[in-house]
């Protein structure tokens, strides 16, 4: 039995004891997380991945029960590779109650133009909305972190200003497309630029975030999820 399930059952038991004549209305949530290394949590334990942290936090904060997250993500994936990965996994035809999407850093890393990313990302966002049964308010997009602030980048003498400018261009396109489709967009980039290079905020590879960073992202996701009328 997973930790999140145990936590939820415990909280449900306490509510029942306190309100024996008022059974809690339970809504179950199926959650799909799409992305790349940031979503699969390269370099951290499974429990520290932000989709898994989100499930745990939501299962102890109200009358929603999140099933374990379905994660389709792989380190190094670009948008088109995520698309192929989705096809290989064949997600549930019944759809999902919540979908999160964080993709694009590898497009930037490989030097692909923003115009190409705009086209690919919009197609992927439409696909995410489809997985959410056409409900755009059930889709949440996170901005692309700026990897140039990490120890890995500094050790390689990465041009931080150049990478930062490209990340900004990608995120501007991403945010505009989300606005067009009325999808929630969460900016995690600016805070990451402040904390991402701190030793405790990096995984052992000094490139990917630690669980502490993912917890900060999770807290922002929790706020957004609580605004959704499931």
The pLDDT tens digits for 190-228 are 999 999 999 999 999 999 999 999 999 999 999 999 999
In tens, the pLDDT along 45-102 reads 999 999 999 999 999 987 899 999 999 999 999 999 999 999 999 899 999 999 999 9
Task: Spell out the residues 6+ positions from residue 47 whose beta carbon is closer than 8 angstroms to its own.
Answer: 3, 53, 56, 211
In tens, the pLDDT along 3-41 reads 555 554 544 444 444 444 555 678 999 999 999 999 999
pLDDT of residue 23: 54
Q: What is the mean pLDDT of the chain?
A: 92
Q: What are the domain boundaries of the chain?
A: 25-226
The answer as to CATH 3.40.30.10 being correct for domain 25-226 is: no
pTM of the model: 0.89
pLDDT of residue 20: 47
């Amino acid at each position: 039995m997973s930790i999140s399930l145990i936590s939820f059952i415990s909280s449900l038991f306490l509510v029942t004891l306190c309100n024996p004549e008022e059974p809690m209305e339970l809504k179950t949530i199926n959650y799909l997380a799409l992305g790349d290394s940031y979503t699969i949590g390269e370099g951290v334990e499974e429990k520290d991945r932000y989709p898994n942290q989100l499930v745990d936090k939501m299962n102890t904060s109200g009358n929603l029960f999140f099933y374990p997250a379905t994660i389709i993500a792989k380190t190094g994936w670009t948008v088109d590779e995520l698309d192929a990965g989705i096809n290989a996994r064949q997600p549930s035809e019944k759809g999902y109650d919540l979908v999160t999407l964080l993709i694009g850093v590898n497009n930037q890393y490989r030097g692909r133009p923003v115009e190409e990313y705009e086209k690919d990302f919009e197609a992927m966002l439409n696909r995410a909305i489809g997985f959410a049964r056409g409900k755009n308010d059930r889709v949440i997009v996170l901005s692309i972190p700026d990897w140039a602030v990490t120890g890995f980048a500094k050790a390689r003498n990465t041009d931080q200003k150049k990478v930062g400018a490209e990340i900004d261009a990608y995120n501007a396109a991403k945010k505009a497309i989300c606005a067009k489709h009325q999808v929630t967009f969460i900016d995690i980039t600016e805070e990451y630029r402040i904390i991402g290079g701190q030793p405790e905020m990096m995984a052992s590879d000094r490139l990917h975030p630690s669980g502490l960073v993912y917890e900060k992202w999770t807290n922002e996701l929790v706020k957004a999820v609580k605004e959704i009328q499931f």
